[in-house]
Chain A
Amino acid sequence: MPQIRSIVIKRKHIDPGAEDKYGHWWFELNGTESYGWWPKYPVSGTMETFLGVEGELNGITSFVGRINRDPHHGEQADEEFHPSTDAGDNRTESEIMDCLRAFALSYAGKWQWFFGFGQNCHTFQSAAMRHCKLRRS
C-alpha cells in the first residue's frame, strides 16, 4: 500500500478532562492547504453541540480559517499519518489531492457532535478518506 507523502491526516483527540476538550481533525495537502469542518458561529454549550448548528468548511466566518486553510493549519496533532491507497490504485498524488479538495469544497450541512455521531470534524475527515479511497497507513 503506497503512502501518499504529500497528504497528512492530523488528529487532536477529544479529551473531556483536558484543556482541549473538543480536539480537532483536519488534513493538510502539500503543507500549503488544509481542510476541516467547523461550526459557522461560536458554540455556546452542550445543547448546541448535541443538537447541531450551521456548519462551515474551515471555520471561515468565526475562527479565521480560509477557503483552503483550516484554522489549525501547520500545528502539530496528537496523531499524524500519511494515508495510503490500495494496491493497484494508479492515481497520482495530484489526482488524490484533487479528490480530497473537491470533496471538501462540496461538503455542506450542520456541525454536530453527539457522542461521535453527526457532521463534525471527525466524520468529515473519515468521509473524505472513504470518498477518495484512502486508508490509514
Chain B
Amino acid sequence: MTNRGEPGKLQYFESWASYQIPMRPVHPIAYEQSEGLSAYYLAEYDDLGRLWKFTKFVRDIVATQDLPANVVPSDGSRTSGRSYFEVAGSGQPGPNIAFPATQFLGEYFRSQVSSVDAHFELQKISQKADFQDEYEYWPNGSLRHRITHKSDGSSAETFFDERGRQVPGLVPVPQPIPH
C-alpha cells in the first residue's frame, strides 16, 4: 500500500485506504472506468512521485425526467444502453457526447433505462469535487503540511514535524517544496 505514483502524473482511483494521512489511493482506473461510479478520486503526484493533491469527485442525480421525444441517444434506438449529452445554454439536453467527454463537465445528461419500470429516462448529473487534500513534505519524506478544501468552501490546515507528529502552528519550510 503506497501513496507514491509516477512523478508528475495524474491518476484516477476508485477509493483510498488506511487510517493514515496522506490518504492512500487504491484501485487505479482510467476515467472511462468511472462510468458507473457515484464517487471516484483523482491523485496528482509531484516530480518526486509523492502524492501532493487528492480530490474526491461525487456524482449526484439532480433531476430525472422521461426522455424527451427530440433527444436521440447515440445508438439511435431509444431502447437500450446509456447515452450522454451536454447541458445546453437553455439547461436542456445539448449535443450527444461520448462518456469520456464528461470528464471536465460539472453537469451533463445521461439517458438510460429506468430500474423501476424499464422506460427510458433522462437524468441530469451533477459532477463536482467533494473535497480536496493538498500535501507538502519534509526533505525526509514525512508529511509537513496538509490543507483540506471542502465543498462548502471551508478549508482546514494541519502541520506536522519531521517525525510526522501533528504540531499546532506553522513549521518553517527549510527549502522549496517541488510540485
Contact = CB atoms under 8 A, between A and B. Distances in A.
Interface of A: 12, 19-22, 31, 38-39, 41-44, 62-64, 72-76
Contacts of B17: 19-22
Q: Is chain B's interface secondary structure helix, strand, loop, or mixed overall?
A: strand
22 contacts: A12-B15, A19-B1, A19-B27, A21-B1, A21-B17, A22-B19, A38-B19, A44-B20, A44-B164, A63-B19, A63-B23, A64-B131, A64-B133, A64-B148, A72-B15, A72-B39, A73-B39, A74-B39, A75-B14, A75-B15, A75-B38, A76-B37
A19 to B, nearest CB: 4
Interface of B: 1, 14-15, 17-21, 23-24, 26-27, 37-39, 56, 58-59, 131, 133, 148, 150, 164, 166
Nearest to A48: B19
B38 A74 contact: yes
Contacts of A76: 14, 37
B20 A43 contact: yes
B58 A74 contact: yes
A42 B21 contact: yes
A62 B21 contact: yes
Contact of B26 (A20, A31, A44): A20
Nearest to A59: B19
A3 to B, nearest CB: 14
